[in-house]
A and B are shown apart, each in its own frame.
Chain A
Amino acid sequence: MADEEAFRHFVAERSPALLRLAYLLTADRANAEDLVQNALVKAYLRWKRIETNPEAYVRRILVTVAADERRRPHRRHETATEAPPELPGSDPFAAIDGNVRLRAALAELPAGQRAAVVLRHWVGLEVAEVAELLGCSPGTVRSQTLRGLDKLREAYGTVRDDAHG
């Protein structure tokens, strides 16, 4: 029971940060929730072994599962769209045009670029670590990161220019 208490405490304390990471990796709110829940189930099942540093374990699962999803055949047919897939009105941020455009830019990034950007600049992993997790070369990670960031900055620049009139 003490283990379960500790686990529940961990979930309550760290799930917001884990959801943020999952959201950045998937660019989809529902997928992010599923991803975090699946990772936490795995963490619960091996809690005794990971108790000393559960967040690192869960983060690794998030990244690995997101990368696996990216490698699955049905994901390879993923195509970027002009607008986010959610219906207008169903998104609490839809009223904020800038946010929508930034979210669209994140969703439009190829999954590999998105993962590279997030792992490198949000999680703070080294290039070699990102390359290992994503199963590609360090050179690919660098180029993917650069391209992904360029697109996000470009989207942000447009939003900022619009805001300043």
Chain B
Amino acid sequence: MDDKTLLSLLADDAPDPSPGLADAVVGRARRVRRRRRVSVAASAVVVCAAAVVFPVVWQQGSSVQSDTASQTAAGRDESYSAHSDAPLEGAEKPGPLSDEVAPEGALAYAPDSYAPAYVAALNALPTKRSTPLLILDAFCADPVTCGSTPLPAAFKDALSKLVPSLAFTDDRSDRLAVRIGGVTPSGRALLVTVDGSPIRVWQQPDGSWTAS
């Protein structure tokens, strides 16, 4: 007897199909399909709800920040309206600036939407810096007073996109690393703190920033 015949002999012991096999299969398949549709519909509802709720929460958060910025700006320059004139409005929510190192009068955050302003200020540094440009990974009110938390990731990403040869270090003893601080509105300009010194930057009509 060859192998196939031997296996055929064994296969003869297989059960016969039940008379209602097709009905049972179709019934089960329909239940599976119905469950999948319900599951997909539920997922769609969750996604839609998130799509509605998230922007509302976002907008409310932005309003609170806008108020804070406006109040801060009003104290220094009555003509400045922080968010009506803010550059790149609608960009990602900024990370917080550590309170203990924020220069007096600075905005309570250094938003990633201000990254172009920071880049203009960095380019205006009086001394030639190393390549890649090294930045201390913390907000600093001056060259020796720095916050304990690292810079917000979104802010760093925004800077890195604008300055490809950029690196961050958490080595606070590195004297070559640039210390960046908060931004302070000053009329139509912004004062960006770099190495403890405020650098005035302006937004041009084309949206770019230049240091004065």
Provide the residues of chain A in CB contact with B12, threshold 8 Å. Answer: 20
Contacts A12-B22, A23-B15 given; does A122 touch B29 at CB 8 Å: no
Q: Which secondary structure dominates chain B's binding surface?
A: helix
> Are B17 and A15 in contact, CB atoms less than 8 angstroms apart?
yes
Provide the residues of chain A in CB contact with B15, threshold 8 Å. Answer: 19, 23, 29, 32-33
Provide the residues of chain A in CB contact with B4, threshold 8 Å. Answer: 121-122
A40 CA / B126 CA spacing, docked (Å): 76
Q: List which B24-66 residues lie within 8 A (CB) of chain A.
A: 24-26, 28-29, 32-33
16 contacts between A and B (CB under 8 A): A7-B22, A11-B22, A11-B25, A21-B11, A23-B10, A23-B11, A24-B11, A29-B15, A37-B25, A37-B28, A41-B25, A45-B29, A45-B33, A93-B13, A118-B7, A156-B9
A18 CA / B32 CA spacing, docked (Å): 22
A31 CA / B13 CA spacing, docked (Å): 13
Say yes or no: is A149 at the interface (Cβ < 8 Å to chain B). yes
Name the residue of chain B whose CB is nearest to the CB of A123. Answer: B7
Contacts A45-B29, A45-B33 given; does A37 touch B7 at CB 8 Å: no
Q: Which of A7, A103, A152 contacts B6 (CB 8 A)?
A: A152
Q: Which of A16, A37, A106, A118 contacts B16 (CB 8 A)?
A: A16
Q: Looking at chain A, what size class is its interface with the partner chain?
A: 35 or more
Minimum Cβ distance to chain B for residue A131 (Å)? 19
**Which residues of A are in contact with B by a Cβ distance under 8 Å?**
4, 7-8, 11-12, 15-16, 19-24, 29, 32-33, 36-37, 40-41, 44-45, 93, 99, 102-103, 106, 117-118, 121-122, 149, 152-153, 156
Provide the residues of chain B in CB contact with A21, threshold 8 Å. Answer: 11
> Are B14 and A23 in contact, CB atoms less than 8 angstroms apart?
yes
> Are B1 and A44 in contact, CB atoms less than 8 angstroms apart?
no
Minimum Cβ distance to chain A for residue B53 (Å)? 34
A33 CA / B21 CA spacing, docked (Å): 9
Minimum Cβ distance to chain A for residue B26 (Å)? 6
**Which residues of B are in contact with A by a Cβ distance under 8 Å?**
1, 3-4, 6-18, 21-22, 24-26, 28-29, 32-33
Contacts between chains A and B (CB distance < 8 A), count: 86
> Are B10 and A24 in contact, CB atoms less than 8 angstroms apart?
yes
Provide the residues of chain B in CB contact with A45, threshold 8 Å. Answer: 29, 32-33
Contacts A11-B22, A37-B25, A44-B25 given; does A20 touch B3 at CB 8 Å: no
> Are A44 and B13 in contact, CB atoms less than 8 angstroms apart?
no
Top-10 shortest CB links A-B: A23-B14, A44-B29, A20-B11, A15-B17, A11-B22, A20-B14, A40-B25, A8-B22, A121-B3, A29-B15
Name the residue of chain B whose CB is nearest to the CB of A16. Answer: B17
> Are B29 and A41 in contact, CB atoms less than 8 angstroms apart?
yes
A122 CA / B7 CA spacing, docked (Å): 7
Q: Which of B6, B10, B16, B28 contacts A41 (CB 8 A)?
A: B28
Name the residue of chain A whose CB is nearest to the CB of B7. Answer: A122
A20 CA / B17 CA spacing, docked (Å): 10
Contacts A23-B14, A156-B1 given; does A15 touch B7 at CB 8 Å: no
A103 CA / B6 CA spacing, docked (Å): 11
Provide the residues of chain A in CB contact with B29, threshold 8 Å. Answer: 40-41, 44-45
A23 CA / B7 CA spacing, docked (Å): 11
